[in-house]
Amino acid sequence: MRFLIILSLTWISFSGSLSSEIGSLQETQAENLLRIAEEAYKDQKFHRSIEEIKNFLILYPTSKLKYKAYQVLKNNYSRLGRPEKVLEINLYQYSQEPTSSQGLNAFFEVGKLYLEIGEKNKAKEVFKSICTQSFSRELAEKASLELSEWDILNDSKTETSECGENTSFFRDSIPENR
């Protein structure tokens, strides 16, 4: 009986350290695959880089480097003149992490991409949505600026006030580092 207990404890200890080593090995492999994709991007081999990133995302879906991989993927599609693919990736990132800084930044980029592809009303809705969310003061202020520019270009001032009120809330409620 004592032998079984010792054997069980040894196995648990061994499997824990083995699991840790496997995780470390996987992260190293993920780094290497991402490095290959980045090098292909730098060499302007965008299609190859895209394939490497797709492999990365399939093989290492929980990697801590996932956000960086998506950024490289978006850079590739951007260089290939495919804003609709960049838009798709940003929408996916936002859907996965709607309250994280990465997700919110992706959503802000969605608004800018809508402007780029001529979907001005969708862009305006995205920026208004960011203004009403209280997750990021900085992004709310950027969205407010985008809406202000929108109003200036379209000679209207009716809808920016809602965003302006929300950003003033941020300015008033968060102490600045002085």
Could you read off the pLDDT of 91-114 as tens digits, one per residue?
999 999 998 889 999 999 999 999
Q: What is the pLDDT of residue 174?
A: 37
Clarify whether residues 113 and 62 are in a common domain. Answer: no
Q: Residue 175 above 80 pLDDT?
A: no
Domain assignment of residue 94, yes or no:
no
Report the predicted TM-score, pTM, of the whole model to 2 decimal places: 0.72
What sections of 43-173 are H helices per DSSP? 46-59, 66-79, 83-96, 101-116, 120-132, 137-154, 160-173
Domain assignment of residue 93, yes or no:
no
Clarify whether residues 75 and 107 are in a common domain. Answer: no
Which position has the higher pLDDT, 33 or 17? 33
Clarify whether residues 155 and 122 are in a common domain. Answer: yes
pLDDT level of residue 66 (50, 70, 90 thresholds):
very high
Name the residue type at position 62. Answer: T
User: Whole domain around residue 54: which residue ranges?
Assistant: 20-81
Q: What is the pLDDT of residue 169?
A: 39
Most trustworthy range by pLDDT among 59-73, 119-133, 143-157? 59-73
Q: What is the pLDDT of residue 166?
A: 47
Q: What is the pLDDT of residue 74?
A: 98
List CB contacts of 146: < 8 A, sequence separation 6 or more: 111, 112, 115, 123, 127
Tally of CA atoms within 13 A in the half-sphere of 40 that contains its CB:
20
Q: What is the pLDDT of residue 173?
A: 37
Domain assignment of residue 132, yes or no:
yes
Clarify whether residues 103 and 178 are in a common domain. Answer: yes
- Count of domains in the chain? 2
Clarify whether residues 160 and 105 are in a common domain. Answer: yes
CATH of the domain at 72: 1.20.58
Q: Residue 172 above 60 pLDDT?
A: no
Clarify whether residues 76 and 135 are in a common domain. Answer: no
Clarify whether residues 174 and 103 are in a common domain. Answer: yes
Over residues 128-138, mean pLDDT: 81
Q: What is the pLDDT of residue 81?
A: 96
Domain assignment of residue 66, yes or no:
yes
